[in-house]
Amino acid sequence: FEQTHKMLGVQDYVIYLLTNEFVTDWSQACRTMLMNISEFKWDEDMLKHTGISVDLLPKLVPPGSVAGTLKKEIAELAGISAGIPAILAGGDQQCAALALNVLKAGDAEANTGTGSFAIAYSEKPQFDKECRTLCSASAIPGKWIVEAGIFNSGAIHRWFREQFYPDGENVYEVMNEEAAQSPVGSNGLMMLSHFEGSAAPYWNPLAKGMFFNVSLASKRSDFTRAILEGITLEIKSNLSLIENLVGNISMVSVAGGLTSLGLFNQIQSDAFNRKVIRYDNNEASSLGALMSAGVTMGFYANYEEAFQKISAADPLVYYPDAINNEKYEKLSVRKNELYQSLNQGGVYKLFNETL
């Protein structure tokens, strides 16, 4: 510590290598727990309690700021011109929110990759009393996002494919077709997605994944659909947490590898009882960074214009089915009751003990 010149995040170090500048933006700095999320500045009380001097920290700037210009030696290595501005677009999920049109009150997104993130726009910092959600600085300067994360979602779908579907062409199409053969509720089969513990909404490292209510009548298609429904119900719980903080959510944009499955998107729409929108390009974080840079450089007047220009293709829109929504509301209650029974009954603790 005594020999430390600067304390940086990995992304800040990359900026230093590119520009020789020590600088970070609000959306990254808020993850250090040293930034006052309401005032967008290093928090004097936290610095006092930790003994960290502000001189040890990088310069704090709004997202979308020009951190510096590209060094000559880096430009030569890359075969591009020196002096190109290096722009701090923001954190990965914050940038993804830009590209998923989470730009105003009522906008939310569910980004499903290995895990899932449910994120909503907020005009002010919002905090859950039980600390189940995260409030971060948005990639839009002076705004915020409220986020709830899930450890495992797409990873479970991939695991099931690897274990129970033979290698071959179009295996995901086969899985999707089979899942569609199983009705809402997967013929009574329910999956809890806590394969590596639970993040939001339960935050329980002892929680375990499971398939419940298996019978001799259960088919592979039921398991495949139960995975999609289990993931969706966990996201639904998190969106409800967020909605209690930020107000009504009118639409949910979706992205990530699993959203290439139309059935999954329809299940989400039915369960959320919201219009679900899927845009053509799944690389939301990269597109959001492009939007941020475009606004900074003056190519676009604002983020709304940047979104319209960069994501011009008509998206796929899914609308909820009222009958299916009623069923998913009941399934959501069952999922929570199942989890609470296992947790309060001491089952998780028991099965985490060494034999």
- Kindly report, residue by residue over 187-210, the tens digit of the pLDDT: 999 999 999 999 999 999 999 999
Residue 340's alpha-carbon distances to 204, 296, 334, 335, in angstroms, are 11, 48, 10, 9
Burial of 31 (0-12, 13-18, 19+ CB in 10 A): middle
Strands 41-42 and 35-36: antiparallel
Which residues have C-beta within 8 Å of that of residue 355, sequence separation ≥ 6? none
State residue 283's pLDDT score: 81
Closest CA to 278 of 293, 294, 263, 289: 263
Dihedral in degrees, nearest 10, Cα atoms 270, 273, 277, 282: -60
Assign 28 a pLDDT band (cuts: 50, 70, 90): very high
Cis check: omega of the bond before 183, within 30 degrees of 0: no
Contacts 24+ apart (CB under 8 A), 201-206: 201/132, 201/148, 201/234, 201/237, 201/238, 201/241, 202/339, 202/343, 203/131, 203/132, 204/343, 204/348, 206/348, 206/349, 206/352
Average pLDDT over residues 290-312: 94
Question: What average pLDDT score do residues 166-177 get?
Answer: 90
pLDDT for 312 equals 66
Cα(114)–Cα(84) distance, rounded to whole angstroms? 34
Digit-coded pLDDT (tens) for 241-285: 999 999 999 999 999 889 999 999 999 999 999 999 999 877 888
- Count of other CB atoms within 10 angstroms of residue 6: 12
- Cα–Cα distance, 247 to 32 (Å, whole number): 27
